[in-house]
């Protein structure tokens, strides 16, 4: 557990619903004192991760296949701070029997999320609230990187290295200055992790880095040696932000 001089607070998200993970991920990114080091769609993968890594807090769904959130907590030898995130009120009693920090009902509001984090680390309450306020005022996450899941590990990707992102149905290709990263995530879930001041959706299948934009027309954008289409639904917003 972090002490007064140790930052950030390491956390993971465990939830089988992609949209629910998106919400919690965005909230974590709003609080610079929190560092997301893992994201899992089931408790078994999270168990494997925790065999090699320690964390300070787990945002944990309860009703999941194979292994429920409560069964997962009972299986842990060392239990970090636990904040349950669930749509089912009936599990509240069982959750609190495990002496968890808090119990958040979906849909989760940011103020309620922040209160739960403050409850987990009361000694850092002022620091957490101040950092969150700055991030909220700026309207973007404070992190300069994201983590993408590759098989059973999380790969750190610097935002400044990303050229553009392409969706291919069941997976996403992230084109960087050095390589191409393929991850089984939706383009919407990746978009939720990105700073709006650095990236923009130009098509249902493409997100581009604004700093890597070489040129554009009303129909296309040029990134590196690649020309990408601008979708009709995204054109007005893109051109407006470019002052055109």
Please report the pLDDT score of residue 47 as a whole number. 95
Cα–Cα nearest to 30, from 11, 53, 45, 17? 11
**Residues 242 and 236 sit within 8 Å (Cβ to Cβ):** no
- For the segment(s) 159-241, the CATH number from 3.10.180.10, 3.30.300.30, 3.30.565.10, 2.40.50.1020 is 2.40.50.1020
* Cβ neighbours, 10 Å, residue 202: 23
Pairing verdict, β 57-60 and 9-14: parallel
Burial of 33 (0-12, 13-18, 19+ CB in 10 A): buried
Paired tokens of 128: 């957490």
Rounded to 5, what percent of the chain is helix, strand, coil?
Answer: 35, 30, 35
Paired tokens of 160: 């400044």
HSE value, Cβ hemisphere, 13 Å, CA-based, for 121: 26
Residue 137, phi then psi, degrees to nearest 5: -65, -40
What does the chain come to in residues? 244
Beta-carbon contacts of 126 under 8 Å, excluding residues fewer than 6 positions away, are: none
The per-type count for the chain, helices as H runs and strands as E runs, is 8, 15
Please report the pLDDT score of residue 225 as a whole number. 87
CATH 2.40.50.1020 positions along the chain are: 159-241
**Distance, C-alpha 78 to centroid of its chain:** 24
Q: What is the pTM of this model?
A: 0.56
**Residues 9 and 33 sit within 8 Å (Cβ to Cβ):** yes
Paired tokens of 11: 């956390």
DSSP calls for 105-145: ESSPPHHHHHHHHHHH-GGGHHHHHHHHHHHHHHTS---SE
Please report the pLDDT score of residue 140 as a whole number. 47
Provide the CATH number for the domain formed by 9-138 in this structure: 3.40.50.2300
CA distance 108 to 92: 15
CATH 3.40.50.2300 positions along the chain are: 9-138
Per-residue pLDDT of the chain (244 residues; tens, 9 = 90+): 454 445 689 999 999 988 788 889 988 887 888 999 999 999 999 999 999 999 999 999 999 999 999 999 999 999 999 999 988 777 666 766 788 999 998 778 888 898 999 999 987 777 776 666 665 555 544 457 777 778 767 778 888 999 999 998 778 999 998 899 998 878 877 887 777 778 999 999 999 999 999 999 999 999 988 999 999 999 998 998 887 6
């Amino acid at each position: 557990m972090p002490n007064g001089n140790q930052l950030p607070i390491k956390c993971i998200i465990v939830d089988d619903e992609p949209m629910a993970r998106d919400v919690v991920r965005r909230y974590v990114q709003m609080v610079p004192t929190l560092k997301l080091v893992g994201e899992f769609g089931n408790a078994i993968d999270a168990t494997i991760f925790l065999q090699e890594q320690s964390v300070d807090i787990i945002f944990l769904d309860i009703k999941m296949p194979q292994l429920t959130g409560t069964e997962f907590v009972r299986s842990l030898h060392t239990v970090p701070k636990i904040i349950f995130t669930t749509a089912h009120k009936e599990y509240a009693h069982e959750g609190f029997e495990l002496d968890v920090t808090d119990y958040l009902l979906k849909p989760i509001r940011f103020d309620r999320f922040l209160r739960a984090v403050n409850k987990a680390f009361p000694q850092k309450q002022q620091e957490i609230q101040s950092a969150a306020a700055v991030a909220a005022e700026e309207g973007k996450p404070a992190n300069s990187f994201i983590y993408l899941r590759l098989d059973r590990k999380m790969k750190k990707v610097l935002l400044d290295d990303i050229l553009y992102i392409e969706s291919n149905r069941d997976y996403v290709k992230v084109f960087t200055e050095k390589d191409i990263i393929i991850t089984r995530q939706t383009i919407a879930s990746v978009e939720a992790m990105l700073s709006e001041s650095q990236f923009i959706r130009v098509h249902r299948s493409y997100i581009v880095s604004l700093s890597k934009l070489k040129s554009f027309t009303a129909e296309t954008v040029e990134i590196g040696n690649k020309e990408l289409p601008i979708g009709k639904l995204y054109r007005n917003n893109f051109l407006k932000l470019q002052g055109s």
